[in-house]
Amino acid sequence: MKEVTKTVFLPVLFGWTFLLLSGFEAISQGKVVDRVISVVGKNMILESEIEAQYLQYRMQSGITGSAVAIKCQILENMLLENLLLNQADLDSITVTEGEVEQSLDQRLRYFISQFGSQDKLEEYYQKSIIEIKEEFRELVRNQLLVRKVQENITANVFVTPSEVRAFYKTIPLDSLPLINAEVEMVQILKIPPISMEQRVLIKEKLRDLRRRIVAGENFATLAILYSEDPGSASKGGEIGFFGRGELYPEYEAAAFKLKEGEISEIIESKAGYHVIQLLERRGDYVNTRHILLQTKPSPVDMEKARQELDSIMNLIRNNEMTFEEAVTKFSDDPGKNSGGLIINAYTGTTKFEMDQLEPQLAFIINRLEVGQYSNPVLTTTEEGQEAYRLVKLLSRTEPHRANLTDDYSNIQEWALMGKQQLRLSDWVNKNMSNAYIMVIDDYRSCDFEHNWFMDDR
């Protein structure tokens, strides 16, 4: 059983899933009778916000603790978040529309994956994805501001190897976390070339769509029907606000030259071919919609790529070169300079839990021993291009209690989090006086980490 413990700062400093889930529940369940529980600077904390997080907290399996204790912890997290938001205002810290949009898209993709599809997510909350996105825009903006302030506060915090070892020794053996099985992999990627005939065909199809738009057909409707950008097609091709340096260079150059409502010529980028419409410009930020069509290699070119990997595999088997040498010489992977290591998009590390792998890759990896490599397997690049790859299993760990030998990086991160939390706690004590803070008397019985009651300070 998990007990409610006083990890007051961790949900704000290190996680967004719990807060975002709570917001989703508030949207789906509607409003309750409200009253103001607290004020921090110019921000209010409402009882409905605490109740929404409390309900979501209770939905997590294995959670125990009294309602009072949980709500006290939730309120202190919210007090901290609002104190940091107040500091962002004092320091004129901002986030760009592009940062907000990117974060919204990332988080919505996560929840869509949890529900299984966008339709199921929309059905559950009885709102369109665009409506959900707009209702969450301010919440996500605030979370990004909070993160920036915290990063400033903890910027110079680090841990030494001796501190990591000392931290590890403080953890009782029966309290060491259970680490799931993890794997590390490298790959040799072959991306088949796109024939000139295929490029001409795709450009002509896109040119016809552009002619229809210019003739008066609705851009958004055609984007929904024909665009091959999974992230924006369902939204009529709209990608939201992005600043300079945040889009493909060719796309960005074309977008910033357009007038509002104007349609671009055909633009080529790494993702494929685009027709772009500028919806709105705010200084150095543009909101655009586009139709993306991607070129696809012919079956003949796909087979050539597979045969080339077969030949490379034979060179490795005959000891004419190592897998690592073949990565450097033959791989089309941009990450080949780091040895072809496959990066986990969820964590930014090279380690994957098995349920983080796409099903086909998980099936292959389960059949490999450490040091073995697969036959050529079909894959899709981040840009949506079909390709083949050889995958070599570098390491595999079995489920185990965390230890310094196998899990040093994890323990180092936990030690750093603890040290950052102490720095943040010190900052709160020193900066509470920078904001007007009011908490109603109903919460005076809370065992808060900090004294949030102005009359008692």
pLDDT tens per residue across span 394-405: 999 889 999 998
pLDDT tens for each residue of the chain, 457 residues long: 333 333 333 333 333 344 444 455 544 444 445 899 999 999 999 999 999 888 888 776 556 678 889 999 999 999 999 999 999 999 999 998 888 888 887 787 777 767 777 778 888 888 887 788 888 889 899 999 999 999 999 999 999 999 999 999 999 988 998 888 899 999 999 999 888 888 999 999 999 999 999 999 999 999 999 999 887 898 899 988 887 777 889 999 999 999 999 999 999 998 899 999 999 988 878 899 999 999 888 888 999 999 999 999 999 999 999 999 999 999 998 878 888 999 887 777 888 998 888 888 899 999 999 999 999 999 888 777 889 999 999 999 889 999 998 889 889 999 999 999 999 999 999 999 889 999 999 999 999 999 998 776 6
The whole-number pLDDT of residue 60 equals: 66
Residue 379 CB neighbour total at 10 angstroms = 18
The CATH number of 182-194+297-398 is: 3.10.50.40
The whole-number pLDDT of residue 62 equals: 56
Do the domains spanning 10-160+409-456 and 197-293 agree at the CATH topology level?
Answer: no
Q: Residue 58: name the closest of 48, 47, 69 by CA.
A: 69
The maximal CA–CA distance of the chain, rounded, in angstroms, is 79
Strands of the sheet containing 437-439, edge to edge, are: 43-46, 36-40, 437-439
- C-alpha span between 134 and 330 (Å, rounded): 45
The whole-number pLDDT of residue 318 equals: 94
Does this model's pTM top 0.75? My answer is no
Q: SS3 for 239?
A: strand
The whole-number pLDDT of residue 115 equals: 77
The whole-number pLDDT of residue 457 equals: 63
Pairing type for strands 272-282 and 285-293 reads: antiparallel
- C-alpha span between 268 and 295 (Å, rounded): 11
Residue 119 CB neighbour total at 10 angstroms = 12
Residue 21's contacts (CB-CB under 8 Å, 6 or more residues apart) are 56
Q: Which residue has the tokens 């199921």?
A: 120
- C-alpha span between 349 and 366 (Å, rounded): 20
| Domain ranges (residues) in the chain | 10-160+409-456, 182-194+297-398, 197-293
- C-alpha span between 381 and 305 (Å, rounded): 14
Q: Is-contact 247 297, C-beta < 8 A?
A: no
Is 252 exposed, middle or buried, given 0-12, 13-18 or 19+ CB atoms closer than 10 A? buried
E strand intervals along 301-423: 352-353, 377-380, 386-397, 400-401
- Token representation of residue 277: 């419409």
The whole-number pLDDT of residue 33 equals: 55
- C-alpha span between 414 and 176 (Å, rounded): 11
Q: Is-contact 144 106, C-beta < 8 A?
A: no
| pLDDT tens digits, 257-313 | 999 999 999 999 988 999 999 999 888 788 999 999 998 888 889 999 999 999 999
Is 182 exposed, middle or buried, given 0-12, 13-18 or 19+ CB atoms closer than 10 A? buried
The whole-number pLDDT of residue 22 equals: 46
Q: DSSP letter for 37, please.
A: E
Q: SS3 for 9?
A: coil
The whole-number pLDDT of residue 7 equals: 37
Residue type, 280: E
How many Å from the N-terminal Cα to the C-terminal Cα in the chain?
A: 36
- C-alpha span between 240 and 112 (Å, rounded): 19
Distances in Å between the Cα of 425 and the Cα atoms of 150, 418, 422, 456 are: 11, 11, 5, 18
Considering the domain delimited by 10-160+409-456, tell me its CATH architecture.
Orthogonal Bundle (1.10)
Among 3.40.50.170, 2.130.10.30, 3.30.1180.20, 3.10.50.40, what is the CATH number of 197-293? 3.10.50.40
SS3 letters for 128-182? CHHHHHHHHHHHHHHHHHHHHHHHHHCCCCCCCHHHHHHHHHCCCHHHCCEECCE
- Token representation of residue 85: 């938001």
Element (H, E) at 277: strand 272-282
- C-alpha span between 307 and 322 (Å, rounded): 19
